[in-house]
């Protein structure tokens, strides 16, 4: 257990630390009530041992304050023997138990064990899972009645796993639970102690019970070895079977989904003609309601969100105004595109195969296909390298897995790796090889392979590695909207671009340009100059008139090469042009050059270079958008402000280089602990912002706890100065911690604008 002791008596604190530590507990000490409150806010504890008579904020007031803020950790009060009124006040304030001074250490440890059982484990104090027993009263561990000798840290590790079976703990959470604030370990320390614990458990017959959950942390899983054995014997897990059944159910009812979508499309057609009847609007609302209710069940969460927006829009507005009509059209178009993509991504017959397996092992291919179907992704198998090169010349794969046994000629697959690595964007490759030598690994990696897996290897490991690679490379995939009235030309461009990993949307009718632009949100737009009704020049002018799209790259395709046309293209804001007929290699080069420049300019304009977080302008824009969404959907939103209170003094005392290093480290920690939908930004002068959608204040504080604990543990070393060292006669460089404040404000409850939310945080 991790225990916080709040007491200002140095002697008593030392005795408590020794006694509790002997019972394998991790103890941290706060000298007064205010420091205890700060520790409770930023740390995660299993028990608080609290003295009543404290300087500053007394123990009863601290207890009351903690309970009023929703703090549920057990609290044990320590009071004088005759202080009956203090005990009554403390229990009324929310304390769980009390002890009178002078303390009986045996009774103290017994009460600690009793409180630790509250709501966490079975009524018995002995922890027993499948014969692995940990007895907190004696600090003994055994398996099948055979004792296991563990170090204090190994014992604490095993205890948190046994107390929380199946729960996943990240390294930082483990650090918080079994290391004290003063020890300041690295996350690698967790890895080393996990390794030692596994080794001792394995020697006792407890094999592979501590599972490494990829990308998250560790958990106790006594069935992990059996699960792997089952996977190797052609059995899929319960979760995989469920996902497969759900995917088959999705395919079964796609016609029903299409019927509901058709109602929405009919409503769009009526909206465009300005004759949407009340009955059709009601039918469309019901169709959206039904779609919102089922899409999430089939892992189409984005579709659920869009359908819910459509339902709300039609339900709240009996008559749609111009802006609402445009919004409705864009939402239905977006939903249509999303579901159409899902329908074409669940079968291997589609052109856009996500993964390619080059192997003659058809059993491996079948297992990978099953794993892919659970995520709506397809695998395509080819037996040998030669056929794979032919396929790759006309198709694109996000990841290619190469079985070295697919050829007897090593240079053949090494050459393919080099070719795939030189493509734009590069295609990640995973090599499966039975030759697990250092020389073979280095040769493969030097040619550009992304990963090397030694055989035998499970399908799950291959799938896990491929999934990680596709996530890492997803940001490099460009999205392009092409507008041209020649459908044959559009089809040809799609064939040229998609094998290079470019997501292509095409439009032959320029009248629908704006709603398609809003629905697809492309990284680059390609326009034909000459088109009926609305030409490319006019479309580009419309783009440049939108403040949010003035930097969107626009490339023109034209059969005309006269000076007047080219001059007009650049005058109205075009970035480049290419003459028809198009040469594929030139088009790809122009697109990539323009996208690279656009990404660089966007990064320079929106990202703080030190913290690598969004700058104030960009993060403010993102937070404003989330505030509007939260208000519209009546969802919670919180803004947190983390302020380095002594940044100016640090810069003055140690130099701006140290200040910059602190900012960079903070940015790294904030990025590492943030959710995907959080908005993180740096607003200068030591102010960091975190926007947290869909969280109320209590949830937001819980979400921030891991970050705050990590920040509190950061220790920085001042630059060595010979002059200063001589003056103060120091032989060791000075080490210091960064003081900071953190406050959270909830949208509408505390304030209603981004500025007022910021003010609320700063003033609190």
Helices 616-633, 754-763: inter-axial angle, 10-degree rounding: 100
Host H or E run for residue 233: none
Domain presence at residue 534? yes
Domain presence at residue 247? no
Domain presence at residue 236? no
- Of 629, 645, 627, the C-alpha closest to 745 is 627
**3-class DSSP state of 28:** strand
Question: What angle (nearest 5°) sits at the alpha carbon of residue 63, between those of residues 55 and 53?
Answer: 30
User: Above pLDDT 90, what percent of the chain?
Assistant: 16
Of 47-51, 69-73, 116-120, highest mean pLDDT = 47-51
Q: Tokens 């669940």, residue?
A: 346
Domain stop point among 444, 475, 506: 475
Q: What is the C-alpha to C-alpha distance for residues 34 and 305, in angstroms, rounded to an integer? A: 44
> Is there a single domain that holds both residue 100 and residue 191?
no
Cβ-Cβ contacts under 8 Å for 145 (sequence gap 6 or more)? none
Q: Tokens 């002078």, residue?
A: 102
Q: What is the C-alpha to C-alpha distance for residues 518 and 335, in angstroms, rounded to an integer? A: 12
**Which residue has better confidence, 611 or 594?**
611
- Number of helices (H), then strands (E), in the chain: 30, 27
> Is there a single domain that holds both residue 483 and residue 434?
no
Q: Tokens 């004792």, residue?
A: 147
- CATH number at 273 reads 1.20.120
Domain stop point among 423, 451, 475: 475
Domain presence at residue 235? no
> Is there a single domain that holds both residue 626 and residue 756?
yes
Q: Tokens 């390609």, residue?
A: 526
Which range marks the domain in which residue 287 is found? 253-323+330-343
For the segment 719-742, what is each residue's pLDDT rounded down to a tens digit? 654 344 445 454 556 788 899 999
> Is there a single domain that holds both residue 625 and residue 742?
yes
> Is there a single domain that holds both residue 742 and residue 678?
yes
91 pLDDT exceeds 80?
Answer: no
Cβ(40)–Cβ(4) under 8 Å? Answer: yes
- Both tokens assigned to 233: 């014997």
Cβ-Cβ contacts under 8 Å for 348 (sequence gap 6 or more)? 369, 378, 379, 380
- CATH number at 174 reads 1.10.10.10
154-168, 335-349, 542-556: range with lowest mean pLDDT: 335-349
Q: What is the C-alpha to C-alpha distance for residues 357 and 397, in angstroms, rounded to an integer? A: 10
184 pLDDT exceeds 80?
Answer: no
Domain stop point among 440, 475, 510: 475
Report pLDDT for 163.
Answer: 78
> Is there a single domain that holds both residue 687 and residue 750?
yes
Q: What is the C-alpha to C-alpha distance for residues 480 and 504, in angstroms, rounded to an integer? A: 5
Helices 513-520, 536-544: inter-axial angle, 10-degree rounding: 50
Domain presence at residue 248? no
> Is there a single domain that holds both residue 415 and residue 531?
no
Q: What is the C-alpha to C-alpha distance for residues 531 and 570, in angstroms, rounded to an integer? A: 18
303-312, 528-537, 709-718, 722-731: range with lowest mean pLDDT: 722-731
Strand 399-403 and strand 355-358: pairing? parallel
Report pLDDT for 757.
Answer: 94
DSSP state letters, 660-698: HHHHHHHHHHHHHH--TT-EEEE-STTEEEEEEET--HH
Q: What is the C-alpha to C-alpha distance for residues 405 and 100, in angstroms, rounded to an integer? A: 74
Q: Is 533 exposed, middle or buried (0-12, 13-18, 19+ CB in 10 A)?
A: exposed
Cβ(50)–Cβ(16) under 8 Å? Answer: no
Cβ(557)–Cβ(578) under 8 Å? Answer: yes
Q: Among positive and negative, which fits the CA dihedral 702, 703, 708, 713?
A: positive
- CATH number at 21 reads 3.40.50.2300
Report yes or no on whether pTM surpasses 0.75: no
Host H or E run for residue 419: helix 410-422
Q: How many domains does the chain have?
A: 6
């Amino acid at each position: 257990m991790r225990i916080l002791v709040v007491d200002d008596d140095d002697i008593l604190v030392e005795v408590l630390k020794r006694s509790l530590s002997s019972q394998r507990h991790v103890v941290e000490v706060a000298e007064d009530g205010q420091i205890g409150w700060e520790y409770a806010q930023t740390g995660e504890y299993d028990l608080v041992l609290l003295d009543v008579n404290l300087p500053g904020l007394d123990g009863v007031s601290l207890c009351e304050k903690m309970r009023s803020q929703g703090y549920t950790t057990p609290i044990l009060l320590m009071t004088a023997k005759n202080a009956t009124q203090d005990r009554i006040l403390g229990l009324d304030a929310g304390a769980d138990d009390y002890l009178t001074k002078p303390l009986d250490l045996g009774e103290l440890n017994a009460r600690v064990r009793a409180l630790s059982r509250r709501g966490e484990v079975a009524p018995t104090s002995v922890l027993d899972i499948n014969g692995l027993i940990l007895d907190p009263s004696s600090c003994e561990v055994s398996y099948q009645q055979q004792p296991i000798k563990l170090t204090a840290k190994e014992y604490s590790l095993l205890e948190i796993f046994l107390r929380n079976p199946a729960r996943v703990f990240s390294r930082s959470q483990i650090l918080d639970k079994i290391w004290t604030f003063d020890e300041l370990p690295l996350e690698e320390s967790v890895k080393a102690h996990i390794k030692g614990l596994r080794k001792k458990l394995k020697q006792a017959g407890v094999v592979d019970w501590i599972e490494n959950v990829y990308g998250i942390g560790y958990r106790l899983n006594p069935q992990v070895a059996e699960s792997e054995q089952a996977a190797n014997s052609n059995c899929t897990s319960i979760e995989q079977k469920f996902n497969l059944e759900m995917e088959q159910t999705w395919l079964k009812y796609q016609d029903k989904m299409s019927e509901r979508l058709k109602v929405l499309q009919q409503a769009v057609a009526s909206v465009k003609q300005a004759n949407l009847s009340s009955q059709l609007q009601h039918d469309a609302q019901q169709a959206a309601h039904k779609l919102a209710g089922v899409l999430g069940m089939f892992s189409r969460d984005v579709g659920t969100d869009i359908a819910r927006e459509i339902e709300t829009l039609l339900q709240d507005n009996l008559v749609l105004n111009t802006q609402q009509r445009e919004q409705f059209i864009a939402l239905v178009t977006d939903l249509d595109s999303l579901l159409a993509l899902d329908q074409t991504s669940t079968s291997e017959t589609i052109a856009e195969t996500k993964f390619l397996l080059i192997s003659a092992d058809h059993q491996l291919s079948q297992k990978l296909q099953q794993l892919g179907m659970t995520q709506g992704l397809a695998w395509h198998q080819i037996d040998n390298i030669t056929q794979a090169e032919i396929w790759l010349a006309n198709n694109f794969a996000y990841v290619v897995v190469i079985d070295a046994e697919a050829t007897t000629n090593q240079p053949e697959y090494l050459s393919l790796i080099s070719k795939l690595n030189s493509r734009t964007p590069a295609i990640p490759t995973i090599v499966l090889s039975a030759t697990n030598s250092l020389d073979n690994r280095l040769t493969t990696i030097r040619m550009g392979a992304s990963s090397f897996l030694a055989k035998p290897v499970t399908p799950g490991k291959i799938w896990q590695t491929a999934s990680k690679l596709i996530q890492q490379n997803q940001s490099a995939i460009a999205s392009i909207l092409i507008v041209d009235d020649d459908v044959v030309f559009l089809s040809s461009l799609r064939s040229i671009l998609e094998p290079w990993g470019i997501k292509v949307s095409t439009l032959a009718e320029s009248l629908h340009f704006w709603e398609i632009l809003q629905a697809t949100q492309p990284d680059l737009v390609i326009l034909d100059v000459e088109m009926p009704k609305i030409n490319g020049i006019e479309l580009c002018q419309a783009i440049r008139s939108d403040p949010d799209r003035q930097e969107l790259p626009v490339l023109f395709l034209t059969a005309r090469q006269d000076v007047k046309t080219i001059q007009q293209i650049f005058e109205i804001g075009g970035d480049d042009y290419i003459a028809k007929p198009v040469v594929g290699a030139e088009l790809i080069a122009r697109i990539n050059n323009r996208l690279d420049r656009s990404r660089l300019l966007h990064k320079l304009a929106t990202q703080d270079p030190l913290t690598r977080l969004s700058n104030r302008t960009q993060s403010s824009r993102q937070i404003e958008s989330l505030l509007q969404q939260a208000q519209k959907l009546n969802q919670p939103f919180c803004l947190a402000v983390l302020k380095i209170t002594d940044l100016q003094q640090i810069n003055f005392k140690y130099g701006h280089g140290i200040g910059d290093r602190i900012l960079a480290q903070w940015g790294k920690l904030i990025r590492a602990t943030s959710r995907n939908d959080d908005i993180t930004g740096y607003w200068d002068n030591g102010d960091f912002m975190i926007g947290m959608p869909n969280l109320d204040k209590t949830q937001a504080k819980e979400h921030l706890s891991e970050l705050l604990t990590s920040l509190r543990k950061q220790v920085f070393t001042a630059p060595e100065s010979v002059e200063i060292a001589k003056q103060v006669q120091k032989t060791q460089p000075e080490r210091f911690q960064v003081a900071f404040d953190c406050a959270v404000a909830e949208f509408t409850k505390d304030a209603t604008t981004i500025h007022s939310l910021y003010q609320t945080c700063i003033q609190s």
